């Protein structure tokens, strides 16, 4: 039982890490209907900018600010050069454009900062918390706990931003209906720049936490893969969905990885580990069969 | 880069034209096809390896070539992708008609795809520590060379290393591996070792790319193994080290394969990597005379291939140099039979690879003492060495903690022969008779 | 002037219903086929066959399969590579385990196996739509590759999971050389492309398009949704399966499950988006673009840098290639969001009048 809880808690905390990446997707999809495939590459760019600036001698707070500026500039340029010219195109063309963007960033970021894998020390040591280990015999990582705290704070800030600021309200209006928003005088382009900036900020946070966890390197772009089922489970348009989806995916995939292979081994010969790769997708699939718009997604009504 | 190699070739041609006394010799060129990867998830690894490889070729040229033959080369970016690797191979193949050095793909997948093609085109394929391991049996695979050592021999050597520290009987060893051809190859060897040495083996696969290993390490924590043998690649390595730290598993009881034992793998993991061990068939550091000389000669002349000079002396850089040393030696060996000062074609270099005599004296003459083990190949044994050293990361550099350890050849090599025989049967290949080869 | 259908009268239903009702199209297709079958084999070298033409045709076939599903029936799929994997491993196992089975039959069986798997993963499409449906195909992508790694029987108990295909032999003739393999692939791809062209203008194709444009409306006018969608999944997977078998047998020669990664699926998706969603021609154009552009950059950039006397270090060129590839994708989408096939359509319209303004 002790072990079960250890796996469960570890899974929930990993899930938060997935949510962080998923959040970036949600923000952009919500505001512009673009499924931004480049989010993974943005995480990479952000983390690389931080370590790159630190290597040049900047202290970490300055490096973070500089990296944020890089992300803002990136967002502005993306909007100016690509997205503005593609207004009113089909979602799939926009999706493809962001794939092109992802390639571009994957080439440009290492060109700018070098492709050497690097460590990122943000002052959190990833070790078991001794108190919990002694009392309950469960390993809970200090780092993961702190990351969860940061994620919670981030979501809170975003929620307040969307709910109570003028820009936030405009964002929600744009998300509901582009044309209606434009007709009441909301400047669509500014809003998009803003959203890409915010998504860049989320990518920065995700990039720093993932980078501190696994090292800053190209593989950070793979973090996006972990975010896809979270996104689908939680709904593309819901910030709380990304968090809850992350928790569900994280916990269930870890439990499945621990408990399912021995069961399968009982039935069939062989070693069936590594089901983490597909389990979240099948779970999301089963879930969608019951609720096709995701956990918190908006219900879509078709009219003929 | 091939614009540079072309310039060198051009210079060589000019020199040949200017000094008519050495006409044909200086114009002879040995072509090395280099399907490399320097971008993508494994780009950093490829950059160091191929940087070392190209630097050594430059170095050889600056020292008068391979018995007077200038090395030329061309690079093609494979992105570690099988289809792209084939395209590169096909593109460069036409240049390798008259002279062809061994081909290094540094990718198990691309090597597999090239085995049949290289055999059909009579080009030598070198797989140093990766690729199809049963190609050790040269009677079935005349053109494929898993040189120096293989995954199976390496796994066996690691077991031997552990046995040297404590009695294996009744112990538990976890094998944590990348769930692909690369990670699965050593399982056969480990199983054989487990039944021989009476230890319990627990296999735990990690799904690609391996950037999340919470569940696997929780299982390891539950299993309480004495050792973890670890077969990772790319981001999986740092994640494993970090997660081991998170779960409180001692890193000095983790031993990785040689693809999990480079600076690129441990530096990003920071303090979590301290004490971690890995196998390697080449040592790191600049105190090998050859590496120091490359730095002086090649980088002194501003012809270095890697931007970041800090890469010099790293494990992967030195591995690239070692690979190039073996390749050039194969050409030299072929020249001994087919004519010194001549360019060697694929068939001839193949003979050179199959009859390598890189003994300690020769290694010393090259200034590479300690860099790599002695390699003596034959038709029946394309591996040639089967030895590795174990190194430990002290937080800033790799420290060797063992001498050369040879895997259990008597146990492992029959496995290769059985596997090669099955391949020959499937493909309808009649194996050569190795006793008739010279 | 050059592409004018006026004056071409049809006197029978047969003439009216042929695949290419316009004479210029017939001549054009005939010319392309003649060049592909006769001129190219005479001119191209081994590099072109092995590294460009054969993979181009195979990827075009896979893209065609995906285009049927995504472009015509409107169901987004991110699992094409997995269906290719099913085809490759199925063909291998049919060859291995059924004594004396002709290779073409095993290709067809491989396609049918893939179709079966496709139907299975298509079932959720009745309930899930749009980007959410991508998850069903993503589940297929990861699950199938995992299965191929985990069940050694499928790879004939090879310790690494890699399969090496036997030689291709039809009626005693061994397809050994690069040219032979190209011709075999070309024949299969041309037949299947014509079949696809025919299918998309039939009742089936039209119901696919109706479902794509609005499935509720299609249901209202009496198109059975489940059957239509599943048929699209089946046909699409069949095409991908055959492409996978060709990929293993005629191109790579040995494949491992990891080779059929999500990355490959994405590449096939790029092909149809760049080429043109809902266009047979687009599948070919897109495959050519995605396949040839990186090769072209790989060849051109080093030349260019030496022309400009830039001393580029090893990895720099590779990184610039990736950047230029991404930038060109964006550029094409900004210029023509409907893909290369749309450019061809515009060209045809221009040719209708050109060189006269009216």
Sorted by where each begins, the domain ranges of chain A are: 2-221
Per-residue pLDDT tens digits for A87-119: 778 887 888 889 899 999 999 998 888 888 888
Q: Read off the pLDDT of each residue in C202-208 and give the average, rounded to a whole number.
A: 93
Answer for the pair A129, A142: CB distance below 8 angstroms, yes or no: yes
Asked if residue B26 has pLDDT above 50, the reply is no
All residues of chain A having their beta carbon less than 8 Å from the beta carbon of residue C145 are: 277
Partners of B400 in beta bridges:
B391
CB atoms within 10 A of CB B381: 18
**Å between C274 CA and nearest CA of chain B:** 20
Asked if residue B22 has pLDDT above 80, the reply is no
Asked if residue C229 has pLDDT above 90, the reply is yes
For testing the chain B interface, which of A123, A259, A276 should be mutated: the one with the most B CBs within 10 Å? Answer: A276
Nearest CA in chain B to A118: B268
Asked if B248 and A14 come within 8 Å (Cβ–Cβ), the reply is no
pLDDT at res. C314: 62
**Å between A160 CA and nearest CA of chain C:** 28
Per-residue pLDDT tens digits for B202-220: 999 998 888 889 889 999 9
Per-residue pLDDT tens digits for B348-398: 999 999 999 999 999 999 999 889 999 999 998 999 888 999 999 998 899
Q: Read off the pLDDT of each residue in B317-321 and give the average, rounded to a whole number.
A: 94
Confidence of residue C312 (pLDDT cuts 50, 70, 90): low
Q: Which is more confidently placed, C93 or A287?
A: C93
CB contact, 8 Å: C308 with chain B?
no
Backbone φ and ψ for C91, nearest 5 degrees, come out as -60, -40
End-to-end CA distance of chain A: 53
**Å between A106 CA and nearest CA of chain B:** 8
**Complex ipTM, two decimals?**
0.88
**Å between A79 CA and nearest CA of chain C:** 12
- Taken in order A275, A277, A280, A283, the sign of the CA dihedral is negative
Asked if residue B2 has pLDDT above 50, the reply is no
Chain C: touching chains (3 or more CB pairs < 8 Å) = A, B
Rounded Cα distance between C92 and C155, Å, is: 8
CB contact, 8 Å: C172 with chain B?
no
CB atoms within 10 A of CB A136: 13
Asked if residue A83 has pLDDT above 80, the reply is yes
pLDDT at res. B14: 43
Q: Read off the pLDDT of each residue in B187-196 and give the average, rounded to a whole number.
A: 91
All residues of chain A having their beta carbon less than 8 Å from the beta carbon of residue C152 are: 270
pLDDT at res. C358: 62
Asked if C323 and A103 come within 8 Å (Cβ–Cβ), the reply is yes
- The string of DSSP letters for A150-199 reads HHHHHHHHHHHHHHHSHHHHHHHHHHH-HHHHHHTT--HHHHHHHHHHHH
For testing the chain B interface, which of C50, C247, C252 should be mutated: the one with the most B CBs within 10 Å? Answer: C252
Rounded to 5°, angle at Cα C248 from C247 and C251? 60
Q: Read off the pLDDT of each residue in B84-108 and give the average, rounded to a whole number.
A: 90
Nearest CA in chain A to B40: A218
Worst-scoring range by mean pLDDT, A9-13, A201-205, C3-7, C161-165? C3-7
Q: Read off the pLDDT of each residue in C201-218 and give the average, rounded to a whole number.
A: 91
Nearest CA in chain C to B304: C313
**Å between A45 CA and nearest CA of chain C:** 14
End-to-end CA distance of chain B: 37
Instruction: Please report the residues numbered 25 through 44 in chain A whose beta carbons come closer than 8 angstroms to any beta carbon of chain C.
Output: 35
Rounded to 5°, angle at Cα A231 from A230 and A235? 120
CB contact, 8 Å: C149 with chain A?
yes
CB contact, 8 Å: C322 with chain B?
yes
All residues of chain A having their beta carbon less than 8 Å from the beta carbon of residue B38 are: 115
φ/ψ region of A12 (left if φ > 0, alpha if ψ in -120 to 50, else beta) reads alpha
Asked if B86 and C50 come within 8 Å (Cβ–Cβ), the reply is yes
All residues of chain B having their beta carbon less than 8 Å from the beta carbon of residue A139 are: 218, 221, 246-248
Nearest to C106 by CA among C116, C91, C86, C93: C91
pLDDT at res. A131: 81
Asked if residue C135 has pLDDT above 80, the reply is no
Q: Which ranges of chain A does DSSP label H, i.e. alpha helix?
A: 2-32, 39-55, 60-77, 91-113, 130-136, 142-164, 166-176, 178-183, 188-214, 223-234, 239-267, 279-290
Asked if C252 and B427 come within 8 Å (Cβ–Cβ), the reply is no
Which residue among C127, C135, C325 sits closest to A281, beta carbon to beta carbon? C135
Which residue among A117, A216, A222 sits closest to B211, beta carbon to beta carbon? A222
**Å between A141 CA and nearest CA of chain B:** 6
Instruction: Please report the residues numbered 36 through 55 in chain C whose beta carbons come closer than 8 angstroms to any beta carbon of chain B.
Output: 45-47, 50-52, 55
All residues of chain C having their beta carbon less than 8 Å from the beta carbon of residue A284 are: 135, 139
Nearest CA in chain B to C322: B39
CB contact, 8 Å: C217 with chain A?
yes
Rounded Cα distance between A181 and A178, Å, is: 5
Asked if residue A300 has pLDDT above 90, the reply is no
* Residue C111, SS3 per DSSP: helix
**Do the strands B172-178 and B200-206 form a parallel or antiparallel pair, or are they unpaired?**
parallel
Which residue among B41, B179, B270 sits closest to A218, beta carbon to beta carbon? B41
Confidence of residue B27 (pLDDT cuts 50, 70, 90): low
pLDDT at res. B32: 94
pLDDT at res. B429: 85
Q: Read off the pLDDT of each residue in A125-150 and give the average, rounded to a whole number.
A: 84
pLDDT at res. B51: 92
CB contact, 8 Å: A90 with chain C?
yes
Rounded Cα distance between C304 and C301, Å, is: 5
DSSP character for A118? B
Q: Which is more confidently placed, C62 or C131?
A: C62
> What is the value of pTM for the model shown?
0.89
Asked if C164 and B91 come within 8 Å (Cβ–Cβ), the reply is no
CB contact, 8 Å: A271 with chain C?
yes
What residue has token string 């069903």?
A: C136
Asked if residue B19 has pLDDT above 50, the reply is no
pLDDT at res. A57: 87
Tokens of C92: 């291998």
Nearest CA in chain B to A116: B44
- The string of DSSP letters for B65-128 reads TBTTBEEEEEEEE-TT-HHHHHHHHHHHHGGGSS--PPEE---HHHHHHHHHHHHHHT--EE-T
Tokens of A299: 């219900």
Asked if B235 and A215 come within 8 Å (Cβ–Cβ), the reply is yes
All residues of chain A having their beta carbon less than 8 Å from the beta carbon of residue C124 are: 285, 288-289
**Å between B79 CA and nearest CA of chain C:** 9
CB contact, 8 Å: C319 with chain B?
yes
Per-residue pLDDT tens digits for B119-177: 989 999 999 888 888 899 999 999 999 998 899 999 999 999 999 998 889 999 999 99
CB contact, 8 Å: B170 with chain A?
no
Q: Which domains does chain B have, with CATH numbers?
A: 2-149+284-386+425-430 (3.40.50.2300), 151-280 (3.40.50.2300)
Maximal C-alpha separation, chain B: 75
What residue has token string 């299982």?
A: B219
Answer for the pair B102, B49: CB distance below 8 angstroms, yes or no: no
Asked if residue B97 has pLDDT above 70, the reply is yes
DSSP character for C3? S
All residues of chain A having their beta carbon less than 8 Å from the beta carbon of residue B43 are: 110, 115, 218
């Amino acid at each position: 039982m002790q072990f079960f809880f250890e796996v469960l808690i570890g899974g929930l905390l990993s899930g938060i890490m997935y949510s962080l990446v998923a959040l970036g997707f949600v923000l952009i999809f919500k505001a512009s209907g673009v499924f931004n495939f480049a989010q993974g590459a943005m995480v990479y760019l952000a983390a690389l900018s931080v370590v790159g600036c630190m290597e040049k001698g900047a202290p970490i707070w300055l490096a973070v600010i500089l990296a944020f500026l890089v992300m803002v500039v990136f967002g502005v340029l993306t909007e100016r050069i690509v997205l503005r010219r593609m207004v009113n195109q089909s979602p799939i063309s926009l999706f493809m454009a962001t794939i092109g963007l992802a390639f571009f960033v994957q080439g440009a970021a290492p060109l700018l900062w070098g492709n050497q894998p690097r460590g990122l020390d943000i002052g959190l040591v990833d070790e078991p918390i001794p108190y919990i280990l002694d009392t309950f015999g469960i390993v809970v990582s200090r780092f993961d706990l702190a990351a969860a705290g940061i994620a919670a704070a981030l979501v809170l800030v975003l929620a307040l931003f969307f709910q109570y600021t003028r820009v936030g309200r405009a964002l929600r209006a744009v998300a509901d209906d582009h044309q209606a928003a434009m007709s009441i005088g909301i400047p669509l382009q500014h809003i998009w720049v803003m959203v890409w900036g915010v998504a860049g900020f989320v990518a920065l946070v995700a990039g720093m936490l993932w980078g501190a966890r696994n090292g800053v390197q190209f593989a950070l772009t793979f973090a996006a893969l972990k975010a896809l089922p979270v996104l689908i489970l939680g709904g593309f348009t819901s910030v709380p969905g990304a968090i809850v989806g992350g928790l569900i995916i994280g916990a269930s995939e870890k439990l499945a990885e621990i408990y399912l292979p021995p069961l399968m081994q009982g039935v069939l010969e062989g070693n069936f580990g590594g089901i983490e790769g597909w389990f979240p997708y099948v779970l999301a699939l089963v879930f969608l069969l019951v609720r096709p718009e995701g956990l918190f997604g908006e219900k879509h009504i078709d009219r003929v | 880069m091939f614009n540079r190699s072309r310039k060198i070739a051009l210079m060589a041609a000019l020199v040949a034209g200017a000094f008519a006394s050495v006409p044909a010799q200086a114009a002879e060129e040995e072509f090395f096809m280099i399907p490399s990867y320097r971008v993508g998830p494994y780009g950093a690894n490829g950059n160091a390896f191929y940087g070392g490889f190209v630097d050594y070729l430059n170095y050889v040229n600056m020292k008068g070539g391979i018995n007077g033959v200038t090395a030329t080369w061309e690079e093609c970016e494979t992105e570690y992708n099988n289809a792209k690797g084939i395209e590169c191979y096909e593109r460069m193949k036409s240049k390798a008609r008259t002279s062809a050095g061994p081909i290094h793909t540094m990718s198990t997948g691309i090597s597999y795809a090239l085995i049949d093609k290289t055999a059909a085109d009579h080009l030598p394929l070198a797989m140093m520590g990766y690729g199809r391991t049963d190609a050790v049996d040269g009677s079935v695979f005349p053109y494929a060379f898993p040189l120096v050592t293989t995954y199976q021999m390496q796994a066996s050597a690691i077991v031997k290393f552990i046995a040297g520290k404590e009695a294996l009987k009744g112990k538990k060893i976890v094998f944590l591996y990348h769930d692909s051809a690369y990670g699965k190859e050593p399982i056969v060897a480990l199983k054989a070792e487990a039944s021989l040495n009476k230890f319990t083996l627990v296999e735990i696969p990690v799904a690609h790319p391996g950037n999340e290993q919470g569940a696997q390490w929780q299982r390891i924590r539950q299993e309480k193994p004495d050792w973890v043998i670890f077969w990772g690649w790319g981001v999986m390595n740092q994640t494993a080290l970090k997660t081991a730290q998170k779960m409180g598993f001692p890193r000095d009881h983790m031993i990785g394969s040689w693809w999990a034992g480079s600076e690129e793998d441990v530096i990003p993991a920071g303090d979590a990597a301290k004490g971690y061990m890995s196998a390697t068939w080449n040592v790191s550091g600049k105190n090998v005379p050859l590496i120091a000389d490359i730095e002086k000669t090649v980088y002194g002349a501003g012809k270095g291939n890697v931007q970041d000079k800090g890469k010099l002396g790293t494990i992967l850089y030195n591995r690239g140099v070692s690979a190039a040393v073996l390749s050039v030696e194969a050409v030299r060996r072929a020249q001994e039979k087919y004519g010194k000062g001549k360019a060697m074609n694929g068939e001839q270099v193949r003979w050179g690879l199959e009859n390598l005599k890189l003994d300690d004296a020769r290694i010393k003459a090259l200034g590479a003492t300690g860099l790599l083990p002695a390699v003596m190949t034959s038709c029946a044994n394309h591996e040639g060495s089967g030895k590795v050293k174990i190194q430990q990361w002290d937080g800033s550099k790799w420290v060797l903690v063992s001498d050369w350890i040879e895997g259990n050849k008597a146990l492992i090599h029959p496995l290769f022969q059985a596997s090669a025989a099955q391949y020959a049967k499937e493909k309808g290949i009649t194996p050569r008779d190795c006793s008739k080869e010279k | 002037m050059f592409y004018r259908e006026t004056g071409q009268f049809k006197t029978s239903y047969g003439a009216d219903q042929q695949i290419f009702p316009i004479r210029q199209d017939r001549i054009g297709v005939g010319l392309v086929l003649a060049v592909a079958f006769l001129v190219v084999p005479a001119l191209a070298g081994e590099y072109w066959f092995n590294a460009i033409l054969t993979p181009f045709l195979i990827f075009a076939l896979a893209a065609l399969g995906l285009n049927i599903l995504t472009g015509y029936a409107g169901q987004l799929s991110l699992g094409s590579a997995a269906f290719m994997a099913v085809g490759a491993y199925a063909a291998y196992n049919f060859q291995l385990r059924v004594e004396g089975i002709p290779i073409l039959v095993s290709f067809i069986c491989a396609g049918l196996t893939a179709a079966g798997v496709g139907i299975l993963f298509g079932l959720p499409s009745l309930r899930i739509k749009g980007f959410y449906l991508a998850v069903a195909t993503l589940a297929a992508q990861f699950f199938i590759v995992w299965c191929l790694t985990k069940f050694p029987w499928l790879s004939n108990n090879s310790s690494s999971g890699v399969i090496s295909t036997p030689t291709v032999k039809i009626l005693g003739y061994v397809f050994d050389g690069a040219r032979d393999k190209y011709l075999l692939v070309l024949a299969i791809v041309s037949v299947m492309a014509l079949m696809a062209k025919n299918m998309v203008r039939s009742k089936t194709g039209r119901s696919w398009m109706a479902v794509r444009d609005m499935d509720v409306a299609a249901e209202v006018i009496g198109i059975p949704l489940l059957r239509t969608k599943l048929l699209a999944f089946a046909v699409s997977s069949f095409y991908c399966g055959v492409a996978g078998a060709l990929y293993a047998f005629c191109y790579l020669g040995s494949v491992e499950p990891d080779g059929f990664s999500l990355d490959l699926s994405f590449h096939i998706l790029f092909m149809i988006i760049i080429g043109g969603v809902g266009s047979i021609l687009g599948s070919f154009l897109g495959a050519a673009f995605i396949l040839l552009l990186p090769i072209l950059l790989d060849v051109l950039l080093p030349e260019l840098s030496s022309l400009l006397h830039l001393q580029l270090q090893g990895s720099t060129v590779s990184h610039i290639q990736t950047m230029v590839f991404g930038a060109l994708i964006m550029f094409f989408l900004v210029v023509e969001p409907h893909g290369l096939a749309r450019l061809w359509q515009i060209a045809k319209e221009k040719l209708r009048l050109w060189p006269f303004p009216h």
